[in-house]
Structure 1
Amino acid sequence: MSRAVATTAACLAGALLLTACGGGGDEVTSGGVGSDGVRTGPGVTDETIRLGVMTDLTGPFKDLSTTLQIGHHMWANEVNAAGGICNRQVAIETLDHGYQADTATIQFPDIEPKVAGFLEVLGASVIAALSPDINEKEVTTLAVTWSSELLGQPYVTIVGTTFDLEMINGLDWLLEKNKIAKGDTIGHIYVEGDYGTNGLAGSRYFAKQNGLTVAAEKITATDTDMKSIVTKFKSQGVKAIALSVTPPQTASAAVNNAGLGLDVPMIGNSVSFAPVLLDTPAAKALTRLYIAASAVPYDSPVPRAKALAKQFEAENPNERPTFAVQYGYAQGLIWNQILTTACAAKDLTRGGIIAALRSHRSLSTDKLVSKLDFSKPGAPSSRDVYIAQVDPGTPGGMKQVQALKQYKDAATYRTPTERP
């Protein structure tokens, strides 16, 4: 385990420059006016702006989440070394919910009063459980989930393309590359909850638009063996497998896809793969897997992505990289722009922060994430994706095979919350 990861797990103290977990030296304000005339709210003092993180450091997405935290801190350290934001240092308060919504609901009342907003809350089911409290407390939250079911939430911001649009774009790419054809059957394994059902909505829309059939199989988050499902897919003659599942479930699907002789291409949502799977017997079988995501693959040629990869490897020589390094940094870039706008308006209250976000028709992440437009309520901020193929020889485990692109069916699709 790298120093950065160990420090994150140990409440982010010491090794990560000028960031902090709970119980630090700054008192948390509940409102007032700073010495510089800036109105302040929870999580803001004259010295500090504290942002919250509720993530999964011990559950099925721990590998993605760990590198996501490193990306956050790369951003915060850079900002703080340059003087901070609004003449205040950025601190990060982190809690591990283990991808358990019940745990997150218990944690929320403790962390919420201490922070100006959430740099990250991970998990579709977690966000769904916390949304009433997030809205009641009017706390701006960047969600690390891409379920379009959440787009109507006033204080929840989804950075990038949603799960349904990821799947539509990914299947369109398979069709374009003649890996599937009209009239084919697609097998879709999806985990119960907003993540899985949202991915399934995308494959069903694509199938309807292109004359294909979807054979859907629902699983729980704790299911680990996909053999019976893949056996069923083989009997149904599926020509591709779509995956809206956890990384361990992806590995089982890949092993059985190869081992049972089905051997069809697989397309997964952005969070369905983790590079740690390449240390398992599934590594060879996973090369049949493609991932659709609006965040750059770790080894992307995008200049900022390359610079961050170089820094990450220098600072974390023993840590396996994932795309979440650059995505976590990109979330910081978004918060930087929000807080800078709020500071200019001399309003770092919860109301001032959400007003600053809503004032931006677009926010820049130096192409670490596809173009983001937050001007349309209920609509996704992006419809573009990168396509990457799992490749054990590529840093981060994924080789980019398609630059950022929006496919035709993604352009016509409307999310459940989107206004006409």
Structure 2
Amino acid sequence: MRCALALPVMALAGALALAGCSTAAPSGTRAQPKGLTTDFGVTRTEITLGALTEYSGPFKELGTGVLHGQQVWVNQINAAGGICGRKIELAIRDDGDDVGRAKAQYAALEPTVLGFMQILGSSVTTALSQSLIDNETTAVVLSKSSELLSNPYVIIPATTYDIEVINGLSYLMEQGKIHDGDTIGHIWLDGEYGANGLRGAKYFAQRHHLTLRDTKVTATTLDMRAFVAAFAGAPRVRAIALSTTPDQTVSAATANQQLRLNVPLIGNSAAFTPRLLFGPAARAMVNLSVLDSSVPFSALAPRAEYVADAYKKAGYLELPNSGVPYGYATGKIWGQLLQRACANGNMSRSGIQEALLQSTNITTDGLVADLNFAKPGSPAARETSVGVPDAAIPGGIREVKPLFEAPDARSYVAAHQTGY
């Protein structure tokens, strides 16, 4: 059993003895006076949060962008004096998208952090899910699979992949590019990400009497030409949804153009990175629409402009992407949880969970759709924006339809959702 430290200090030893716990504070933790309850990752001067990201692997650009956005938030908060009288520290580890390495790094980080600002990757999140429960550790995960929402310690501060696909197909129907009874294709990456996108595609297809032709690919399958060629055969698809890596996306887009299929493509938020616009296949991106629930890097919203300016001043070398404002937004979410926990007098892991369940309307100054975490198992948001690749814009995405919630997205029941 893990025990929070409720002060004043004079009562500490007796309380711990009654609870059957050691009086030794966990690594990286120091007891606090004045009635504040703490356990892991909180000292008199600091709150430490972890980040398990990747500097290599298929989604490295997303992870790096989110991390830089989080660092912008940390710097802003600390310059203003911190939260609950404490500065925020970010403990960062690179797991290289390797599950074994991620498990080892999690085991080393976990006793020293209050929670995690970032865990990247569906496979890594799935592998660590039970540990998060056992350690009662709240974590923002960058995988947006609603399948992960069975874990009450997982925060997905966005619209999930299944609902992104539902909204994206609704957008194509609204634009007159697909109709009831048509045939559509879906290429999806094996794992939580792709399977969750497929769940949304199947729901929409059932609602609109569409024939869905889907193809599963692995992360090592980079050439999509054969799969797109199959979609050109009878029954020919009218559109293709992509729940893929960015490199698979550009391959599918190139094949779509070279084979003269030229159907509209929609891609989940993880399927695109601005790097694709500066390679030989850049022109193939013309048929792609990207789905997301956070604003693009170059959005005109005041907070987005602040984040973009701070990113440029920080001198980061990487191409900016939509992960930057999203990372800043996750910082604001953690900030509101920490402030609520502080006001409740409980800056322990259980105090963070209490604050999360009290959070019916977390806002991020328009960076992400408003979020409701008070319904365990339910996606916190259901709105999606639509953007198109544009190399002339920093961040590579130009928004063509702001956040919206399609009727089919509103009626959809996610995998672990109850009482809806």
- Aligned pair partner of 2:185 in 184, 187, 190: 187
The answer to whether the 8 A contact 1:79-1:85 is kept is yes
Report which stretch shifted further, 96-105 or 122-131. 96-105
* Equivalent position of 1:34 in the other structure: 32
For 1:60 and 1:124, the matched residues in 2 are separated by: 12
Structure 1 SS opposite 2:270: coil
Identity %: 43
For 2:65 and 2:410, the matched residues in 1 are separated by: 32
Q: Give the residue type in structure 2 aligned to 1:398.
A: I
C-alpha displacement of 1:135: 0.3
Matched, 1:298 2:293: no
For 1:52 and 1:315, the matched residues in 2 are separated by: 21
* Equivalent position of 1:419 in the other structure: 418
The answer to whether the 8 A contact 1:44-1:50 is kept is yes
* Equivalent position of 1:166 in the other structure: 164
For 2:83 and 2:116, the matched residues in 1 are separated by: 16
1:369-384 aligned at under 5 Å gives the runs 369-384=368-383
Matched, 1:222 2:220: yes
C-alpha displacement of 1:316: 2.7
1:353-377, Cα deviation, whole Å (9 max, x unpaired): 1111111112111110001011212
For 1:379 and 1:411, the matched residues in 2 are separated by: 12
Structure 2 SS opposite 1:301: coil
Matched, 1:130 2:115: no
1:112-132, Cα deviation, whole Å (9 max, x unpaired): 111000001111221111010
Q: Give the residue type in structure 1 aligned to 2:243.
A: S
The answer to whether the 8 A contact 2:52-2:95 is kept is yes
* Equivalent position of 1:268 in the other structure: 267
The answer to whether the 8 A contact 1:29-1:41 is kept is no
For 1:147 and 1:71, the matched residues in 2 are separated by: 21
C-alpha displacement of 1:379: 0.7
C-alpha displacement of 1:82: 0.6
C-alpha displacement of 1:102: 2.7
1:11-410 aligned at under 5 Å gives the runs 29=27, 33-236=31-234, 237-316=236-315, 318-410=317-409
For 1:320 and 1:156, the matched residues in 2 are separated by: 29
Gaps of 5+ in 2: 1-24
For 2:320 and 2:28, the matched residues in 1 are separated by: 38
C-alpha displacement of 1:319: 3.1
C-alpha displacement of 1:30: 6.8
* Equivalent position of 2:4 in the other structure: none
Decide whether aligned partners of structure 1 residues 30 and 136 sit closer, same or farther in structure 2, where only a CA change above 3 A counts. Answer: farther
The answer to whether the 8 A contact 2:293-2:403 is kept is yes
For 1:363 and 1:29, the matched residues in 2 are separated by: 31
For 1:127 and 1:166, the matched residues in 2 are separated by: 20
1:133-171, Cα deviation, whole Å (9 max, x unpaired): 000000011111110101121111111111000000000
Structure 1 SS opposite 2:282: coil
The answer to whether the 8 A contact 2:326-2:367 is kept is yes
For 2:299 and 2:385, the matched residues in 1 are separated by: 10
The answer to whether the 8 A contact 1:30-1:40 is kept is no
Q: Give the residue type in structure 2 aligned to 1:150.
A: L
Give the total of aligned pairs.
394
For 1:85 and 1:400, the matched residues in 2 are separated by: 34
Report which stretch shifted further, 50-59 or 302-311. 302-311
* Equivalent position of 1:6 in the other structure: none
Please report the TM-score for the alignment, with normalisation by the length of structure 2: 0.91
For 2:318 and 2:217, the matched residues in 1 are separated by: 31
For 2:203 and 2:315, the matched residues in 1 are separated by: 41
Q: Give the residue type in structure 1 aligned to 2:89.
A: A
The answer to whether the 8 A contact 1:190-1:200 is kept is yes
1:342-363, Cα deviation, whole Å (9 max, x unpaired): 1112221111111111111121
For 2:199 and 2:285, the matched residues in 1 are separated by: 24
The answer to whether the 8 A contact 1:29-1:40 is kept is no
1:225-279, Cα deviation, whole Å (9 max, x unpaired): 0011011011131111100011111011111111111111100101100001112
Structure 1 SS opposite 2:151: coil
1:67-106, Cα deviation, whole Å (9 max, x unpaired): 1111011000000011111111100011111222232122
C-alpha displacement of 1:29: 4.6
Structure with the greater alpha carbon radius of gyration: 2
Structure 2 SS opposite 1:373: coil
Q: Give the residue type in structure 1 aligned to 2:357.
A: R
Q: Give the residue type in structure 1 aligned to 2:38.
A: T
Q: Give the residue type in structure 1 aligned to 2:123.
A: S
The answer to whether the 8 A contact 2:31-2:43 is kept is no
For 2:233 and 2:258, the matched residues in 1 are separated by: 15
For 1:48 and 1:35, the matched residues in 2 are separated by: 14
Report which stretch shifted further, 409-418 or 100-109. 100-109
C-alpha displacement of 1:330: 0.5
C-alpha displacement of 1:333: 0.3
Q: Give the residue type in structure 2 aligned to 1:178.
A: G
The answer to whether the 8 A contact 1:29-1:44 is kept is no
Structure 2 SS opposite 1:164: helix
Structure 1 SS opposite 2:180: coil
Report which stretch shifted further, 352-361 or 307-316. 307-316
Q: Give the residue type in structure 1 aligned to 2:85.
A: N
The answer to whether the 8 A contact 1:28-1:45 is kept is no
For 1:239 and 1:407, the matched residues in 2 are separated by: 20
Q: Give the residue type in structure 2 aligned to 1:285.
A: A
C-alpha displacement of 1:28: 6.1
1:282-309, Cα deviation, whole Å (9 max, x unpaired): 2110121101111111122222112211
* Root-mean-square deviation over aligned CA pairs: 1.4
